[in-house]
Amino acid sequence: MKPCPTDLPQTINPEAGPKRAGVETHRNLNCNYYDNCLDEAVRRGWQSFTCVKCPMNQQVAPPQMGIEAYATQRRAI
């Protein structure tokens, strides 16, 4: 199985509201392929992307930390 991010025409609001879903609804930040999907979105020139339709979206455990804590975590280079 291969990850497949989907183009999202508008940016994601960091916080969920009555009319817009937040980051944690659209993206699985703990997915092992998240950085690859982010790179793919940049290569394709997408304004934003969502993991909702990806078959791997439900295979990874939900985030154990909030978005603020995730911002300080990066993959090893």
Residue ranges per structural domain of the chain: 6-14+21-62
CB contact burial 31-57 (16+ within 10 A = b; e otherwise): bebbeebeeebeeeebebbbbeebebb
The alpha carbon of 49 is separated from its chain's Cα centroid by a whole number of angstroms, namely 7
> Is 9's pLDDT higher than 90?
no
Contact present, 54 and 27 (Cβ < 8 Å): no
pTM, entire model: 0.62
pLDDT at residue 60, rounded to an integer: 56
Query: What is the SS3 assignment for 62?
Result: coil
Residue-wise pLDDT for 63-75, tens only, equals 556 666 655 665 5
Question: Above pLDDT 70, what percent of the chain?
Answer: 61
Question: CA–CA separation, 72 vs 50, rounded Å?
Answer: 21
Residue-wise pLDDT for 31-65, tens only, equals 888 888 989 999 999 998 998 888 887 775 555 56
Give the single-character DSSP code of 11: P
The overall average pLDDT reported for the chain is 76
